[in-house]
Amino acid sequence: MSGNMAVQLPYMFTERMNHLLGDQFESFMQSYEQSPHAGLRVNTLKISMEQFKEIAPFDLRPIPWCETGFYVPHGVKPGLHPYYHAGLYYIQEPSAMAPVEQLQVQPGDRVLDLCAAPGGKSTQIAAKLQGKGVLVTNDIHAERTKALAKNIELYGVRNAVVLNESPERIAEAFPHYFNKVLIDAPCSGEGMFRKDEDMVKSWEHHSVEKCVLMQRDILETAARLLAPGGTIVYSTCTFAPEENEAMIAAFLKQNRDFTVTTIADTAGFAPGRPDWVREMLPAQAEETEEVLEQTRGTARLWPHLLEGEGHYVAVLQHIEVAQSDSDSKLSENVIDESALLNESSEDRSFLRSASYPLTKADRKKERLLRVESREGSDRGTRSGKPSGKAGRKAKEAGGRKSERGHTRATDSGNVDPLAVYSQFVKENLDMPLQGETVCYGDRVYQSAVGASRLEGLKVVRPGWFVGAIKNGRFVPSHPLACALRTSEARRSVNLSSADGEAVRYLKGETLNIEQERIMLHGETLSKGYVLVCIDGYAAGWGKWLDGVLKNEYPAGWRWTSR
Ligand SMILES: C[S@@+](CC[C@H](N)C(=O)[O-])C[C@H]1O[C@@H](n2cnc3c(N)ncnc32)[C@H](O)[C@@H]1O
């Protein structure tokens, strides 16, 4: 057992670690006597690093492997600050920040986060995309996708699609579509023991063997989702070699068009341990010997070697075979995709297949309306990577401003929802809208993925939820506000985090605000929807009239702590 340590570690676990770690075992065990490390990651979708450093309310010590990550001093509760509610940072375990850094995401990429809830790594990817390209974020557990969608919205992500699917079904809809795929695999969670004692309890139930089966399926499917020359990052928060090096070796053996990209051993990362596979799993080692050594280039983050709970990361690079048959087949596939986008613009079946967030009532009146991007939108991002034939085709299609799809009257006031939405945008916003406008029942989204792609899938969010048509009017959504910059709203008001006004807003209180405080952008009246900002960063909507700011902060999101 774990002696006088705070965490009671399972005997089988310590025995195995003792055997594997040898003379490092003692310092590994000593790490369990220390408190877990807490971290936060700056959301550079909303605030630059320079600005954050200027206003940061806590002492910040950089996390060496993540340029936007900082250690949070013990005792500090970053969740209890208005900046958290303004989406300025995500609270994340430091070693969990490593995998996305290795994915090398660039603006314009098409990225898939296959096992994403509650969204720590997805929000990190979204910050790297900077609104350009596509993030499809998925989790197989419906309940967990609620937190995932909420985080995507709180952090102001505009170019994400949230799914609740099996990887298999996503692969059918998006064959070889993504140039970056993250698999933050469900695992036996040994790296979570110090942080969460429940993980110790569930260790036996989430046995290593069960996890291995899931991981193998997910990895195999990921290869079918990846575009030629793309990258898969596979990560776990466990130490078991079966789920780490042995898993990667088995994958490499099956998929000879992949190699491991070596992770630099900076920042205290330790190399992968192929020798442990040979020692613990000799049959598997023998089977995979020709590729096994490559796993030395993967990384292990150990709680006794760096300040973090522990993680394993592997970067798998697909080698594109130039001019080969399979290559040209894959590019055909990409071209087909843009054709699909155009072809299916009249398709209405997309809605019928969505399981959430449609209610029964929604389903009755469901319809799909899609229009081309609005004037001035960033067309290069509509189809993800702007290069290649597919990109050009999509650009051309996006160049048309005509409306497609039908605009029939809705139950809610016999109005044309697109016209009502357009009118709202004209009167309240000053920004180009990216992607397609998609209506789900009365809800309006801007989607970065062609709607036909989502047909048959369980869609939690087909895009950025911008608002809903209610009683013939467009009611802007909270996620719309979260993702806006002050300059993009015609009216805004700034509340200070220092004098308690921001917290009163976050608690849902009505505020008295003199007219002079409403900042106007362009020709407009003070009356109407106002973007409420905290120290200059969007937090939600208010509705201003005659010195009173009606609070539009959603009930489910409110500040409840004091
Ligand atoms: C380690 S957690 C992900 C944490 C997340 N990446 C983050 O950074 O916040 C693994 C997730 O995988 C999900 N999962 C389990 N099996 C899956 C499968 N076959 N396909 C997709 N997701 C799965 C679980 O529901 C769980 O939310």
- Could you list the pLDDT tens digit for every one of the 562 residues in the chain? 343 356 788 898 999 999 999 999 999 999 999 889 999 999 999 999 999 999 999 999 999 999 999 999 988 999 999 999 999 999 999 999 999 999 999 999 999 999 999 999 999 999 999 999 999 999 999 999 999 999 999 999 999 999 999 999 999 999 999 999 999 999 998 888 887 778 887 787 668 999 999 999 999 999 999 999 999 999 999 999 999 999 999 999 999 999 999 999 878 999 999 999 999 999 999 999 999 999 999 999 999 999 999 999 999 999 987 755 444 444 433 333 333 333 232 232 222 223 233 334 333 333 333 333 332 333 222 222 222 222 222 222 222 222 233 333 344 457 888 999 999 999 999 998 889 999 989 999 999 997 888 999 999 999 999 999 999 999 999 999 999 999 999 999 999 999 899 999 999 999 999 999 999 998 889 999 999 999 999 999 999 999 999 999 999 999 987 6
Closest among 172, 182, 43 to 110, alpha carbons compared: 182
Hey, whose CA ends up nearest to atom 5 of ligand 1? 116
Nearest CA to ligand 1 atom 12: 115
Cβ of 422: how many Cβ atoms within 10 Å? 17
CA distance 328 to 306: 45
Ligand 1 atom closest to the Cα of residue 139 is 22
Instruction: Give the atom of ligand 1 at the shortest distance from the alpha carbon of 119.
Output: 9
Ligand 1 site: residues with CB under 6 angstroms? 96, 114-121, 139-141, 144, 166-167, 184, 186, 214, 218
CATH 2.70.150.10 fits 486-557, yes or no: no
pLDDT at 450: 74
Q: What pLDDT shows up at residue 487?
A: 95
User: Minimal CA–CA distance to 545: which of 480, 491, 500, 468?
Assistant: 491
Q: Which atom of ligand 1 is nearest to the CA of 236?
A: 1
Q: Is 116 annotated as a binding residue?
A: yes
Ligand 1 pocket test target in 135, 136, 140 with most atoms within 8 Å of CB: 140
Q: Check if the beta carbon of residue 89 is closer than 8 Å to that of residue 60.
A: no
Residue range 95-318 in CATH 3.40.50.720: no
Other CB atoms within 10 A of residue 74 CB: 10
Ligand 1 centroid distance, CA of 488 (Å): 35
| pLDDT for res 374 | 31
> Which residue from 115, 154, 202 has its CB within 8 A of the most atoms of ligand 1, so it is best to mutate?
115
Task: Please report, as a single letter, which amino acid is at residue 119.
Answer: G
In this structure, are residues 113 and 127 in contact, taking their beta carbons and an 8 Å threshold?
no
Query: Quick one: pLDDT at residue 195?
Result: 77
The rounded Å distance from CA 332 to ligand 1 centre is: 32
pLDDT tens track for 116-166: 999 999 999 999 999 999 999 999 999 999 999 999 999 999 999 999 999
Report which protein residue has its CA nearest ligand 1's atom 15. 186
Residue recorded with tokens 């009683």: 471
* Per-residue confidence (pLDDT) for residue 529, from 0 to 100: 97
> Diameter of the chain by CA atoms?
78
Q: Does the annotation list 121 as a binding residue?
A: yes
How many angstroms separate the CA atoms of 113 and 268, rounded? 26
Q: If you measure from the C-alpha of residue 147 to the centroid of ligand 1, how many angstroms do you get, rounded to a whole number? A: 12
Place of tokens 């109407």: 528
Under 8 Å between Cβ of 373 and 158: no
Residue 499, burial from CB neighbour count under 10 angstroms (0-12, 13-18, 19+) = exposed
Distance of CA 420 to the CA centre of its chain: 30
Map residue 473 onto helix, strand or coil: strand
Compute CA 68 distance to the chain's CA centroid, rounded to the nearest angstrom: 16
**Phi and psi at residue 125, to the nearest 5°:** -65, -45
Dist. CA 117 → ligand 1 center (Å): 6
Number of the ligand 1 atom closest to the C-alpha atom of 148? 9
Distance 121 CA to ligand 1 centre (A): 11
In this structure, the residue with its CA closest to atom 7 of ligand 1 is 120
Q: Dig out the tokens for 396 from the structure.
A: 């051309």
Q: Is 482 annotated as a binding residue?
A: no
User: Is residue 530 within 8 Å of residue 484, measured between CB atoms?
Assistant: no
Centroid of ligand 1 to alpha carbon of 185 (angstroms): 6
Strand residue runs (E) in 203-310 = 226-236, 258-261, 270-271, 299-301
* pLDDT reported for residue 198: 80
CB 474 within 8 A of CB 516: no
Torsion angle defined by CA atoms of residues 236, 239, 240 and 246, in that order, rounded to the nearest 10 degrees? 60
For ligand 1, atom 1: residue with the closest CA:
186
- The annotation status of 115 as a binding-site residue, yes or no, is yes
Residues 6+ apart with CB under 8 A from 115: 138, 139, 140, 183, 184, 185, 186, 218
Which ligand 1 atom minimizes the distance to the CA of 214? 19
CA nearest ligand 1 atom 18, residue: 140
Sorted by sequence, the CB contacts under 8 Å of residue 390 that are 6+ apart come out as: 334, 335, 337, 338, 383
CA distance 431 to 485: 10
Half-sphere exposure of residue 295: CA atoms within 13 angstroms, side-chain side: 30
Q: Is 139 known to sit in a ligand binding site? A: yes
Output the residue whose Cα is nearest ligand 1's atom 6.
116
pLDDT in tens, 200-219: 877 876 689 999 999 999 99
Any idea where the domains of the chain sit in the sequence? Answer: 95-318, 325-479, 486-557
Residue 86 annotated as binding site: no
Task: Name which residue sits closest to atom 22 of ligand 1, judged by CA.
Answer: 115
CA of 116 to the centre of ligand 1 (A): 5
Q: Annotated binding residue at 390?
A: no
Supply the residues annotated as catalytic: 237
Q: What is the pLDDT of residue 370?
A: 35
d(CA 195, CA 37): 8
User: Strands 178-184 and 110-113, how do they pair?
Assistant: parallel
The bridge status of strand 66-72 relative to strand 299-301 is: unpaired
Check: CB of residue 252 under 8 Å from CB of residue 294: yes
* Count of Cβ atoms closer than 10 Å to residue 400 Cβ: 11
Instruction: Give the distance (Å) from ligand 1 centre to CA of residue 143.
Output: 12
- Give the DSSP H or E segment for 318: strand 311-318
What is the number of the ligand 1 atom nearest to the C-alpha of 121? 8
| Residue 186 CA, closest ligand 1 atom number | 10
